[in-house]
Amino acid sequence: MVKIRDGQVANRPIYAAIGVTLDGDKDILGLWAGTGGEGAKFLDVCLTDIKNRGVTDTFFLICDGLKGLPDVVGNVWPLTTVQTCIIHLIRNTFKLASKKD
């Protein structure tokens, strides 16, 4: 979250897309300032933007588990495997364990 002045100062999320090539080289594919709502429609715009700038294929995409994201990724890159981030998987597992464990 960063403070952005757009008429008035407001906290807005910044979404980053980072790509890693098969050789291990990292690159920032894009940065987008969100409006506060993280939805599949917004992410569709982001992924389509990345594709239009030259990323023709992705092997897999790691995300936070947004429900509509696998469908959006399938529309942009049909052969991509969508995987939930390990930190989000662990955090969601804690919900299933009792507090004494």
User: Domain residues of the chain, as ranges?
Assistant: 2-94
Report phi then psi at 42, rounded to 5.
-65, -45
**pTM of this prediction?**
0.74
Residue 70: how many CA atoms within 13 Å on its side-chain side? 6
What per-residue confidence (pLDDT) applies to 7?
A: 86
> What's the mean pLDDT in 46-65?
89
> What's the mean pLDDT in 26-36?
87
Q: How confident is the model at residue 36 (pLDDT cuts 50, 70, 90)?
A: low
Residue 18 or 66, more confident: 18
Query: Measured in whole angstroms, how far is the alpha carbon of residue 56 from the centre of its chain?
Result: 17
> What's the mean pLDDT in 42-52?
91
What per-residue confidence (pLDDT) applies to 35?
A: 78
Three-state SS string over 41-96 comes to: HHHHHHHHHHHHCCCCCCCEEEECCCCCHHHHHHHHCCCCEEEECHHHHHHHHHCC
